Amino acid sequence: MALIHHTTMTPTKLELLTGWLPKQSWYVGDAGTPELFRAGGFRLDDPEGAVGIEFMIVVDSGAREPVAYLVPMGYRGAALEGVPGEALIGTSEHGVLGTRWIYDGVHDPVVMAQVRALLRGEATPQHQSRSDTPDPTVTVHGTGPGDGLDVRIDRVLRPAEAAHGESGRLVAGWTWPDGTAARGVLATFASR
């Protein structure tokens, strides 16, 4: 199980995401700087213990209507080779671990392998800020082998539960700026 360090990161993850998020093709905000706050998320464990894996849900409260975004992240102690430049969210100085290279998880093979394991029912979602603590609010509906299927990450989140009979749907919750709770589909197995 991953150990959560309660320490500083400079710049913070939200500071890095504020600059990175508007540059993404799936960003639906206006041309201004987003006003992000952490609205939810969870972690997964890397079986090798080398990569930190976090699924962060942020809400842009500065948009006309608040928008929830999912950003899976891989935290590494060295640069990841062979990924496109836009995969790097940024680097940050961690108060315990030193420099961390923070990658968009869809480009990190360790992150995506663990998402596949979660959708197959072979991994346990962990609490976002507590060590060795499963998060039972993160659920997978219709686990299955997922052989020959890709994983689709939903970047812009909408409130909805997984439909009955649909296989391999990851569902989790977040909180809107007014304090209202929401749940929606974060990832699914998809045909190639």
Residue 84 contacts residue 104 (beta carbons within 8 Å): no
* Amino acid identity for residue 98 in this structure: G
**4 within domain boundaries:** no
Q: Which residues contact 179 (CB under 8 A, 6 or more apart)?
A: none
**163 within domain boundaries:** yes
Asked whether the CA dihedral 183, 123, 154, 152 is positive or negative, the reply is negative
**1 within domain boundaries:** no
pLDDT, one tens digit per residue, over 52-74 is 999 999 999 987 889 999 999 99
- The mean per-residue pLDDT over the stretch 72-101 comes to 89
Q: Which residues contact 157 (CB under 8 A, 6 or more apart)?
A: 57, 68, 69, 70, 174, 182, 184, 185, 186
The pLDDT-based confidence of 26 (bands split at 50, 70, 90) is very high
**110 within domain boundaries:** yes
Please give the pLDDT value at position 4. Answer: 63
Please give the pLDDT value at position 167. Answer: 66
The pLDDT-based confidence of 5 (bands split at 50, 70, 90) is low
Does 94 or 53 have the greater pLDDT score? Answer: 53
Residue 54: strand pairing partners: 43, 73
SS3 content of the chain, % helix, strand, coil (to 5): 15, 40, 45
Work out how many domains the chain is built from and give that number.
1
Averaged confidence pLDDT in the chain? 88
Please give the pLDDT value at position 55. Answer: 97
**162 within domain boundaries:** yes
Reported as type and span, the H/E element at residue 101 is: strand 98-104
Please give the pLDDT value at position 94. Answer: 77
Give me 188's structure tokens: 């699914």
Please give the pLDDT value at position 74. Answer: 96
Asked whether the CA dihedral 29, 31, 35, 36 is positive or negative, the reply is positive
**Bond before 11 cis per omega within 30 degrees:** yes
Residue 149: strand pairing partners: 191
- Domain enclosing residue 152, as ranges: 9-191
**17 within domain boundaries:** yes
Residue 140 contacts residue 119 (beta carbons within 8 Å): yes
Q: Reduced to 3 states, what is the DSSP secondary structure of residue 22?
A: helix
**3 within domain boundaries:** no
- The pTM of the full predicted model, rounded to 2 decimals, is 0.91
Q: Express as a percent the part of the chain with pLDDT over 70.
A: 86
**65 within domain boundaries:** yes
